[in-house]
Amino acid sequence: MQIQDVKLAIVGLGYVGLPLAVEFGKKRSVLGFDINADRISELKNGIDRTLEVDDHELAQATGLRYTHQANELAEANVYVVTVPTPIDEYKQPDLTPLVRASETIGKVLKRGDIVIYESTVYPGATEEVCVPVLERISGLNFNQDFYAGYSPERINPGDKTHRVANIKKVTSGSTPEIAQLVDSLYAEIIVAGTHMASSIRVAEAAKVIENTQRDVNIALINELALIFNKMGIDTQAVLEAAGTKWNFLPFRPGLVGGHCIGVDPYYLTHKAQSLGYHPEIILAGRRLNDSMGGYVVSQLIKAMTKQRIQVQGSKVLLMGLAFKENCPDLRNTRIVDIVRELAEYSIEVDVYDPWVDPESAAHEYGIQPITQPVQGSYDAIIVAVAHQEFVEMGAAGIRSLGKPEHVLYDLKYVLQQHESDLRL
């Protein structure tokens, strides 16, 4: 297959797939497929509920059309799979969406076709899990009748600076010729350039360690914050001082959620454990980061008690539910840990987040966000997400929501040190 012969389909139009489909749609004809018929209907009407792509960008993608009909995928010969790869309740990889997407493609797979995966997986998953599904459903032979590639997604939800086209892309293929074709295909849209990995497994490993490295580094800073809090030292002040050294990495303490950092390390540790190796540092970092919601609540309860605020039956405002600032993404948000911990103390919690969809919050976590907090109502306020709306409120605006005696806990350094009662 030559690059001019490519008939492209993007399978999965979420936070990863839609921006990719839009970029390709500016350059060539591309079919965008998603099993969610409502999502397809919205996109056809120029609406992206993830807010990753605006109306103007959608309109620019003149080569992009949408469908939820799987049989239409038969017209393509190169498929890019961008479905979620979450973890289950036991923190084990859940490859169900990936397997189902492979089954869907397998039903229309033809000789000479290429299937490229972007979903985060452990090294070896593409060839050990996905390819056998493609072979079983299609009846074709891998690297004889059809081929595979892997190019890990590097989407950063809510980031309007680092976009698909200006983030360097790692590519790979199941044969040298396919690797070159995959690389050339992405080079059409990636202005930052591409890096062709030596194998699919190398590309998979590169992706999974990107966020594992961040997770471990944040765990270190979180542990330092716990230590400095016991010493009565402001963590942010320490980090600012240490940051004057040229090679000090600018990580900050906090809750670690989202679709990548809080999930990807478990894919790597799962594979390591299957090989008989117990990864000490990675899992220790995960345990510490997963415990931060409980720590935040314990600190808040202590502060309320010191101010002689009755804890049981008190009312707390949690500002923010999305996993990060200025985006509606609720995937794996660790704010829910705080909500659940507060409930253990019989505390009434109001969750306020102007970015999130209330129906999604209710469906995913059983949380019904309020539309607007009432001034003078709260015994404690936690600024959990640094949405621009909260930043613009300033200390006076945020404190106006509290009762005359209240505790203000700034998790995200939205305020100056002297403006809050607690910082992580």
Catalytic residues: 260
Q: How many CB atoms lie within 10 A of CB 117?
A: 31
Composition of the chain by helix, strand, coil, percent to 5: 45, 15, 40
Report in angstroms the alpha-carbon separations of 291 from 296, 345, 423: 9, 17, 17
Q: How many CB atoms lie within 10 A of CB 176?
A: 10
Q: Please tell me the distance from the alpha carbon of residue 58 to that of residue 334, in angstroms, as a whole number.
A: 31
DSSP 178-193: HHHHHHHHHHTT-TT-
The amino acid present at 95, given as its one-letter code, is L
DSSP 309-357: ---TT-EEEEE--SSSTTS---TT-THHHHHHHHHHTT-EEEEE-TTS-
Q: Please tell me the distance from the alpha carbon of residue 156 to that of residue 209, in angstroms, as a whole number.
A: 16
